[in-house]
Amino acid sequence: MLPRSLSLASAAALLFLLTPANALEPSCPYGVNAHLASNDALDAARAAGIGWVRMDLNWYQVETSKGVYDFSETDRFIDHATDLGLNVFVTIAYTPSWAVGVPCNDADPNPVNRCLNAHPANEADWTDFVGVVVDRYQDRVKHFGMWNEPNLDQFYKGQRDEWVNGILVPGSASVHAACSDCFVLGPELANLRSAHWDADEGQCAFGECAFNGWNYSLEQILIAAADSIDIVTHHKYDDPATSLWDEATDGEFVGGFQIMNGVKELTDQHAPGKPVWLTETGWQTPPFGDDSPEYAAAQLTALFQGFVGVVGGTQPGVANQPWPELQKVFWYDLHDDPNAASWGLLDASLAPKATYTAYADTIATLGIDCENPPTTSTTTGSGGGGGGTSTSGAGGDPSAGGAPGAGPGSGPGAGGGGAGAGGDPAGDGGDGCSCRMASTPGTAPNGAWLGLLVFVAARRAARTKAVASTPR
């Protein structure tokens, strides 16, 4: 049953729920992170016109002991979502204790001692599970992600190469072996410079780094294993929405010098032609966030207007456009967690928030028809990204033509707020890095070292000002 406080625009969309066979177009760009949301919450997503839901399929919750499976909740979610016509993107992640191989405890406050973020001791346990999942759902689900935010140690405490060689590459092979027309998505990195991986890589001087963290990680992953990824996925939180698109395309600059690449720069160079989905972004309202409901709603509207602009090459202030490979954006989150986070379109009781109304209205007014197959290319103008350059065997993406954790968050199975490394997911985390000198192949512009010095000076000046203003 849906909340009674739906807007008129949203309520009108309820008519579509009367026809379960009315599936939304896979090319639809509108997504939302749903974890393992209730049927009522999924009904609300469908009523708004949202076309995609990202679902958590947590290994440790499903295969509770080796070879013993409980798919009851994931069956319920996928059955209901597909009955509604929603497209489902499944993120598979998190190791059960029996597969770790050493003592661990998911209740331990120290992530180092937990099980679910550990690398599995036996690669075959992981690949077997991926194969079982894909075989079970491939008639309804074609898109599978290989872990969530593995560059954050609360989600994965292994190193980058360990994830590439032990999770991504064999997991991708398992997906394609089980389903020739399925797609592997990744790497789902958190857009943090201070992430668990590569904070001290990139270009570093005087204790500060540029082109580091997620930037260096994404580049190296694509260099090493782009053929194992059919659709490149990324998580980025920034404020305001116009800045998000500026940075995602053109990169970040200080004093006129570039200090970070844009996602588009990296994918254009190392995964040309592959589709790109932004699979987490959002603004958090009270009680756990500081953004007013009205401000978050305005940013959601601007986010999707910017999406259309960047894809079509008309976004003001962006140089590196159009971005035809950009296909989808997934809002974080479908509903609030009463104990941990308030990123949702719905509150914890499933009453619509201002962002829900804004999303429904944006979908109704942007002119991208998710209800009917396009007769020509999609109105998003995203062209034929389609994953055609992949050699992993998936072929072209049927969703092409023309995106907080998906994981355990604050506790096992909670969904949580896990959009970032703790605190503000849009933030950059720590103030420095214990850096060593390194280079980023093919990404540093001319004058990067001078830009890095400007960056170092700006960071130090900001810290000095902060210390001087601290009450004593």
CA distances (Å), 62 to each of 41, 66, 90, 231, in order? 22, 10, 14, 25
Residue 212: pLDDT above 80? yes
pLDDT of residue 371: 81
The predicted pLDDT at position 51 comes to 96
Quote the percentage of the chain above a pLDDT of 70. Answer: 74
Q: Is residue 462 part of a domain?
A: no
Q: Do residues 352 and 3 touch, judged by C-beta distance below 8 A?
A: yes
pLDDT (0 to 100) of residue 442: 37
Is 450 part of a structural domain of the chain?
Answer: no
* pLDDT tens per residue across span 341-352: 999 999 999 999
For the entire predicted model, the pTM comes to 0.80
| Span 195-218, average pLDDT | 95
Give the mean model confidence (pLDDT) for residues 456-461.
Answer: 47
Gyration radius of the chain over CA positions? 21
- Backbone φ and ψ for 184, nearest 5 degrees, come out as -100, 130
Predicted confidence at residue 326, as pLDDT, reads 98
pLDDT tens for 285-320 read 999 999 999 999 999 999 999 999 999 999 999 999
Q: Over the stretch 423-457, which tens digit does the pLDDT of each residue have?
A: 333 334 332 222 222 333 333 444 444 454 444 44
Examine residue 252 and state whether it is found in any structural domain, yes or no: yes
Structure tokens at 53: 């839901």
**pLDDT tens digits along 166-194:** 999 999 999 999 999 999 999 999 999 99
Which residue is associated with the tokens 């590459």?
169
Cα 67 from Cα 39, distance rounded (Å): 28
**Burial zone of 330 (CB within 10 Å; 0-12 exposed, 13-18 middle, 19+ buried):** buried
Residue 467 lies inside a defined structural domain of this protein: no
Is 448 a domain residue? no
Q: Tell me the C-alpha distance between 206 and 430, whole Å.
A: 15
Q: Does residue 468 form part of some domain?
A: no
Domain of 228? 9-199+211-428
Number of domains, the chain: 1
CB contact at 8 A, 403 and 54: no
- Work out the number of other CB atoms within 10 angstroms of the CB of residue 388: 15
The tens digit of pLDDT for each residue in 48-92 reads 999 999 999 999 999 999 999 999 999 999 999 999 999 999 999
> Of 77, 79, 66, 172, which Cα lies nearest the Cα of 121?
66
| Residue 342 domain-assigned (yes or no) | yes
357: CATH = 3.20.20.80
Is the pLDDT at 20 greater than 60? The verdict is no
* Amino acid 22: pLDDT: 66
**Residue 434 belongs to some domain of the structure:** no
